[in-house]
Amino acid sequence: MALRDILLVPDPRLKLVSTPVEQVDDETRTLMADMLETMYDAPGIGLAAIQIGVPKRVIVMDLAREGEPPEPKYFINPEILWSSEETAPYEEGCLSIPDIYDQVERPSKVRLTYLDQNGERIEEEAEGLYAVCIQHEIDHCNGVLFIDYLSKLKRDRAVTKVKKASRAGQPA
């Protein structure tokens, strides 16, 4: 396992649409192990491969609370099959946009399908933080950032703040 650098806005690679994984193999599993280590180190609860510069439809997540044992989840080629009409606001943040948080309204429940780390097809429903996080990470696979849901003014302020902090070598 290895720590990878997390891309920060306005890196243009964050806007790329990721390609599907053709085969779940050792290379894919190594990528996911590196992603998980990078996410834990950041620290965060979700990471898409594009955030470390790999344009593949791969996501890792761990929603375990502090003090609970880790519960890593692996998603290869995740896809939303259904979204509820009911929405809920949630304050989101992103490892590619450090120290910036804002409310995003998303469907409160989703049904998704994906391949796990063994290449097994899974279909399940998600709600609450799980639904928010998986939608956020799938957005990354589609070149969409949570700040894209905000007003142009808020989005521009967030990018400027991250760029400024990055130049100064400090958190945003």
Sign of the CA dihedral with 6 first, then 8, 13, and 19 last: positive
User: Which residue type is seen at 109?
Assistant: K
Q: What is the mean pLDDT of residues 119-139?
A: 98
- 120 belongs to the catalytic site: no
Neighbours of 123 (CB within 10 A): 10
DSSP string, 17-35: PPBPPS---HHHHHHHHHH
More confident residue, 26 or 169: 26
Q: How confident is the model at residue 170 (pLDDT cuts 50, 70, 90)?
A: low
Tens-place pLDDT, residues 151-163: 999 999 999 999 8
Express as a percent the part of the chain with pLDDT over 70: 98
Tens-place pLDDT, residues 8-63: 999 999 999 999 999 999 999 999 999 999 999 999 999 999 999 999 999 999 99
Average pLDDT across the chain, whole number? 96
Q: What is the mean pLDDT of residues 124-141?
A: 98
Contact 130, 63 (CB under 8 A): yes
Tens-place pLDDT, residues 86-122: 999 999 999 999 999 999 999 999 999 999 999 999 9
Which position among 37, 92, 123, 137 bears the catalytic label? 137
DSSP string, 45-82: SEEEGGGGT--BSEEEE--PPTTSPP--EEEEEEEEEE
pTM for the whole structure: 0.95
Nearest of 11, 15, 3 to residue 98 by alpha carbon: 11
